[in-house]
A = this chain, B = another copy of it.
């Protein structure tokens, strides 16, 4: 059930049965010479909607622009400042808490969002409590990174081994190929450089990772792998969402 394809009376009805909601959050950032700029938004949205179908949960609109300042030296990247994203998350959750939602399950596709998301949760719990909204003190937020689910990780190792890398990975590229088979891109890729993981400012990032990839070989990706990754991710996250809902508030 998609929030944007629902009416407000349908949401009112939904709330009488569940106070949980799934929120896809991605990013709009360079993903190497062949990865789509929307890779993270696409992955988060597709998987979140899959989880929503499997669990009959409501899925919110995708937060397609996240915290990607370190990718800012590549054209096409759009990023919020962390302080902006915190306000967005705070406003987003607060709107839904006013309506009666209690459990916020963020399906995340971008490592760069995680810290800011967690900071935003802390900011928001306090904000809701200060507003004295009904139910404020039992609100729970959780962030679930699709790429870190056990089955996803195992598959990625099986498919790509140490060419998975950590940005513009074949896993995420495969998933976008599955979702958008008409948007598969090819380009010559330089050999993988020495392995390293530091992430600092945007200019440093581009010097360090000249074509945008971090130790990955996205040329290995296929749509079929994408489908298998998708299936595993949806199944595991559906289970995780169920457990999140089942956990009683204290």
Contacts and interface: CB of A to CB of B under 8 A. Distances in A.
A162 interface: no
Contact of A7 (B28, B31, B116, B204): B31
**Copies of this chain per assembly:** 6
Interface stretch (A48-56, A129-137, A144-152, A221-229): A129-137
B37 A208 contact: no
A198 B37 contact: no
Interface of A: 2-12, 15, 28, 30-38, 41-42, 60-62, 64-65, 67, 69-70, 72-84, 86-88, 90-92, 95-96, 98-100, 112, 114-123, 125-126, 128-132, 136-141, 180, 183, 185, 187, 198, 200-204, 207-208, 212, 247, 249-250
Contact of A9 (B33, B64, B120, B123): B33
B12 A208 contact: no
A5 B70 contact: no
B31 A4 contact: no
Given A11-B37, A121-B200, 17 more contacts: A2-B38, A3-B76, A4-B28, A4-B36, A4-B64, A7-B35, A9-B33, A11-B75, A41-B61, A81-B126, A82-B123, A83-B87, A87-B87, A88-B88, A115-B117, A115-B118, A129-B201
